[in-house]
Amino acid sequence: MGRKSDMILAIEKIPQWVFLSILFLFRLIFIPQGLDFADEGFFMTFYQQIFSDPESVTYAFMYWFAGILGGSLYSLFPDGGLLLMRFAGVLIIILTAAFTCRILKPYLPLWAVRVGVAMAVLYIFDDVSSLYYNNVSALLCVGGIGLLLKGMRSENNKGWIIGAGMAFAVNAFTRIPNILGVLFILMILYEAWIFRKRMKWTVRVMAYFLTGYFLAFFLVFSFMWKAGHLQPFFTCLDWIFHIGRSSETSHNIYSMFRTTAGQYLEIGFTGLFFALWGTTFFYLIKRYRNRVFVKMIGISAVLVLSLFLYFYGALYLLYFLSLATVLFILWKEPPVIKTVAFAAGMFLIVQPLGSDGAVDLVGRFSMFLTLPLVVAYSEKEVRELPVSRGISNRMLRKAGSILLILFVCLSVQRHISYTYFDQGSRFKKIYSVDHPFLRGIYTSQKRASVSQEVLSALGGYVSEGDYTLIYDNSPMLHYLTRTKPYAYNPWLYLYDKDLLEGALSRAGRERQDLPVVVLQKFKGLWIDWPDGYSDDYMANNANKGKNLLINSFLQKNKYLKVWTDGYYEIWLPEYEK
């Protein structure tokens, strides 16, 4: 091996706590900006009510363990607000990064581990900032893989393996599709196969894993029974099976399969583009001797790739490189690294399953283990290439450094120009809403103004602990008003027509009083709301029939509109007006 470059030496000399602190501070500076009323409002209401009125947030119990973490933090610091939960989200991502470094350090060069982990952290830019099920799932999955690898390669392995089984089991309660985490037991079979382990060893280790897995299930259900969570959890499971068959939602099995298959086709297309780009580049630099021409080709190649990544994004390219690197390691590399690559590949493929966004939404959280492998083996292959006419290994390594710098620049640009469900530059998000839960949170002037108006108006009609019906993409209003969801779900958009109808019917039987109703006049899922205004959003023939149900509920119970600002409306039963 040749002498390490000054850059590699500098990366390796950084103390681990300094490296992680840099990543932590980078993530931290972006959390004050952006105000999302949809996803974040859903999670925050779940955390607020999971211990006080779990039935009111039944739909969110598919993310039970994330709710336990968030709810515990809310109970300890009830006035911490959105900023505290975003701080916790950053902390979880950095913990995942730290565990990844610890897992991969024995197998890869330290600099490659750190560069790959930094890439993974940098690329989580267009996602919810707060503690929630995707970042908690990534932490538990990486932790489970680390425990399993440690256990399989230790003499006294019982505790490590049981711990791994428990981590994967708890992860199933963080996000229901994570039940597929039991498939990581295949790591044990793969390790036994490549190292020719005895059957006795294989059976014993698998038994430890399953012991931990089912022990965790027992402990979780025991806790649920004690906390009064069993009923909402099993009701939520029943709803999940219904949604899986419903044609109205994006979470039905066919829709998720189609989305996932389509994304893998795009990943394949991206790989073909990258292969064509690389083949053309290498052909031209081998074909021509002129160094000036070679440099021009290099600059052109970087420009083409830059434009591709800027307009198309880097996710699918990183996913393709991750898959290709895993397959390369499984085919060619020594057994000691193969199980690591096998686990990383499983994480990459299994984690996005069961999500309506699949790779686009969850995929960026599943690359913590693969990106360090991509960096390490790309550099290794480049270093071992024979010198060709007009180009040297040193030039190729410089090209790799340029690509990394390009990736960093594009990622930082994405961080600056995008916040989750709050479109526009961060430089324009300098306006706040006067609310204790939103201290230190900044958004655009118009969103802040509309939010302040509806919160001020609601203060005259609702009190803490009241039931409210907020339709349909503004669950944040539940959290900010400390009110409980009337229809067992903070975010009614997630229901299909049948579930909404059933929830309204059940609430009518179980709730003594009718709720204050808040209707939005715009599609709150639009990232530029309230600019995405639509005066006919509540038309009966819109939104898959759910608008008809809400309008029918208002008419049946003789509601009257008592306030509007053109963006939201507040309705009260006639007898309360």
Q: What is the pLDDT of residue 382?
A: 64
* Residues pairing with 572 in the sheet: 560
Angle at which helices 199-227 and 158-172 pack, to 10 degrees?
Answer: 50
**485: β partners:** 468
What's this model's pTM, rounded to 2 decimal places? 0.91
Give the Cα separation of 449 and 321 in Å (integer).
45
Per-residue exposure over 367-389, b if at least 16 CB sit within 10 Å of its own CB, e if not:
bbbbbbbbbbbbbeeeeeeeeee
Q: Is 289 helix (H, G, I), strand (E, B) or coil?
A: coil
What is residue 296's predicted lDDT score, i.e. its pLDDT?
Answer: 77
Please give the structure tokens belonging to residue 458: 């609601």
Query: What pLDDT is attached to residue 347?
Result: 94
Neighbouring residues of 253: CB distance < 8 A, sequence distance ≥ 6: 244, 245
Which secondary structure element, helix H or strand E, spans residue 571, and what is its range?
Answer: strand 568-573
Token pair recorded at residue 390: 């007009």
Q: What confidence score (pLDDT) does residue 209 get?
A: 96
d(C-alpha 302, C-alpha 208), whole Å: 50
Contacts of 89 (CB under 8 A, 6+ apart): 31, 128, 129, 130, 131, 132, 135
- Position 2 scores a pLDDT of 54
Reduce the DSSP state of residue 5 to 3 states and report it: coil
Q: Is the omega angle on the peptide bond into residue 531 within 30 degrees of 0, that is, cis?
A: no
HEC string of 54-71? HHHHHHHHHHHHHHHHHH
Mean pLDDT in consecutive groups of 10 residues from the start of the chain, 577 residues:
67 91 92 90 96 96 96 95 95 95 94 91 77 94 96 87 96 94 95 93 95 97 96 94 75 78 87 81 69 72 76 82 93 92 94 81 88 88 58 61 74 76 82 94 92 94 95 93 96 91 94 93 69 62 78 93 91 77
